[in-house]
C-alpha cells in the first residue's frame, strides 16, 4: 500500500537486504547465457528492437473496456496516442508517459502497462507516442508531453472522461518528462497527482546506486550515459529541464507518489527527488520496491511482486480521484 501524499517530514523506507527476486535472477542469467546485448551495445534502432522483442514474453494484455487510437495536435505538428478506457465510468484521466531512455518505446510496447493501470485505478489512460531521440532530441519529446497534458486537460469530454481529476504518470525517462513538463507548465494544467516510477532526475552517474547496480541488471550505468548523450549534448545534461533534481524551486509541483526499485541505478536520485519535493512543501508519498529492478512495471504478468506494486500505484491514483 502507498501512503496518501502528505506534507511535512517524508518517511523514506529502505529495502536494503532484500535479495534480487528469483525470476529476475533467472532472467539475467538467461540473458548472459544467450549473449543478449545491453541496450547501449548497438544503435538506437537496435535498442528499440530489443524492447520490442521482449513484448511477446510479457504475457496477455488485461481485458479493458475499449481501446482506440487518436491524434494529438502539438506545437511540433501532431503525434499519435492511445486511449484506454476501463469498464464502467472512469474515476479520472491518467496521462501515462512511457519510459525508454527518451529513445525507445512505442504504444504497443507499453499498452500492457497502461491497460493494467486502467484496471487498477479505474481511470481512463491516455498514452502519448511522443517523439524520440536522437532523431528528435531535447526538447522535442518534452514539448510533446507538455502538449499531451494540455490536450488532456482541455479535451476531457472528447476523451469520454469529463468527471474526475487529471493525473500525470510516467516511468523512468517518462517520469522525467512528466515532472519537468508539469513544472514548465506551471498553473496551465490542473494536475491532482504526479506518479513517478523509478524516475530519471539527475545526470550524476557516480551515486551509490550507480556504483552498486551499474552492471549485470536490465539497466546499466553505461546504458544511462548512452541515453543521456542521445537525448542532449553533455554540456546540457545538468540543466534542470533534463536533471530536475537540480531545480532551485520545486514548490509549484503537484502532490507526488514516487516509486523506486531496490536494484536500480536510479534508486538514489529517485529517493533524493522525493526528499527535495517534500522539502519544497509538496505532499509526497514514497515507496521502494524490494527485490525488483528497473522496468518492473512491464513484468506484472510474470512477477507477483511487480503486479502488487502496480496495484498499489493504481490504488493511490484511485484514492486521489476519490478525494476530488
Question: What are the residue numbers of the active site?
Answer: 172, 264, 294
Work out whether the CA dihedral 214, 181, 143, 74 comes out positive or negative: positive
Looking at the chain, list the stretches that DSSP marks H as alpha helix, in order from N- to C-terminal side. 22-34, 44-53, 107-121, 140-154, 173-185, 208-213, 221-231, 267-279, 304-322
**Sheet of strand 256-263: strand arrangement:** 66-74, 77-85, 124-128, 93-97, 166-171, 191-197, 256-263, 284-293
256 phi, psi to nearest 5 deg? -135, 145
Record the cell numbers describing residue 200, joined without a space. Answer: 530519471
Angle made by CA atoms 130, 182, 293, in degrees to the nearest 5: 65
CB environment 139-150: b (16+ within 10 A), e (fewer): bbbbbbbbbbbb
Which pairing describes strands 66-74 and 77-85: parallel, antiparallel, or unpaired?
Answer: antiparallel
Write a three-state SS string for 79-119. Answer: EEEEEEECCCCCCCEEEEECCCCCCCCCHHHHHHHHHHHHH
CA–CA dist 248, 245 (Å, integer): 8
Residue holding cell 551509490?
A: 208
CA–CA dist 317, 324 (Å, integer): 11
Do 167 and 94 touch, CB atoms closer than 8 A?
A: yes
Amino acid at each position: 500500500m502507498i501512503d496518501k501524499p502528505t506534507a511535512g517530514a517524508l518517511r523514506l523506507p529502505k529495502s536494503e537486504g532484500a535479495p534480487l527476486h528469483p525470476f529476475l535472477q533467472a532472467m539475467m542469467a538467461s540473458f548472459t547465457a544467450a549473449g543478449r546485448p545491453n541496450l547501449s551495445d548497438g544503435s538506437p534502432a537496435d535498442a528499440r528492437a530489443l524492447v520490442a522483442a521482449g513484448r511477446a514474453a510479457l504475457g496477455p494484455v488485461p481485458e479493458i473496456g475499449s481501446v482506440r487510437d487518436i491524434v494529438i495536435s502539438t506545437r511540433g505538428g501532431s503525434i499519435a496516442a492511445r486511449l484506454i478506457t476501463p469498464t464502467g465510468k472512469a474515476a479520472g484521466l491518467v496521462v501515462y508517459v512511457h519510459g525508454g531512455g527518451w529513445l525507445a518505446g512505442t504504444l504497443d510496447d507499453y499498452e500492457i502497462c497502461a491497460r493494467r493501470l486502467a484496471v487498477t485505478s479505474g481511470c481512463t489512460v491516455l498514452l502519448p507516442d511522443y517523439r524520440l531521440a536522437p532523431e528528435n532530441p531535447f526538447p522535442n519529446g518534452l514539448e510533446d508531453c507538455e502538449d499531451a497534458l494540455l490536450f488532456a486537460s482541455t479535451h476531457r469530454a472528447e476523451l469520454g472522461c469529463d468527471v474526475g481529476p487529471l493525473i500525470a504518470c510516467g516511468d523512468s525517462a517518462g517520469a522525467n518528462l512528466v515532472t519537468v513538463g508539469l513544472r514548465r507548465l506551471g498553473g496551465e494544467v490542473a494536475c491532482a497527482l504526479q506518479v513517478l516510477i523509478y524516475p530519471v532526475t539527475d545526470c550524476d552517474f557516480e551515486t551509490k546506486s550507480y556504483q552498486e547496480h551499474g552492471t549485470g541488471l536490465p539497466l546499466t550505468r553505461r546504458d544511462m550515459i548512452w541515453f543521456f548523450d542521445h537525448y542532449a549534448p553533455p554540456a546540457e545534461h545538468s540543466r534542470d529541464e533534463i536533471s530536475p533534481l537540480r531545480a532551485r524551486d520545486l514548490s509549484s509541483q503537484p502532490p507526488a507518489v514516487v516509486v523506486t526499485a531496490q536494484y536500480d541505478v536510479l534508486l538514489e536520485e529517485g529517493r533524493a527527488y522525493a526528499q527535495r519535493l517534500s522539502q519544497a512543501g509538496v505532499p509526497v508519498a514514497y515507496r521502494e520496491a524490494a527485490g525488483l529492478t528497473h522496468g518492473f512495471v512491464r513484468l506484472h504478468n510474470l512477477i507477483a511482486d511487480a503486479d502488487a506494486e502496480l496495484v498499489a500505484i493504481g490504488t493511490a491514483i484511485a484514492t486521489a480521484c476519490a478525494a476530488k
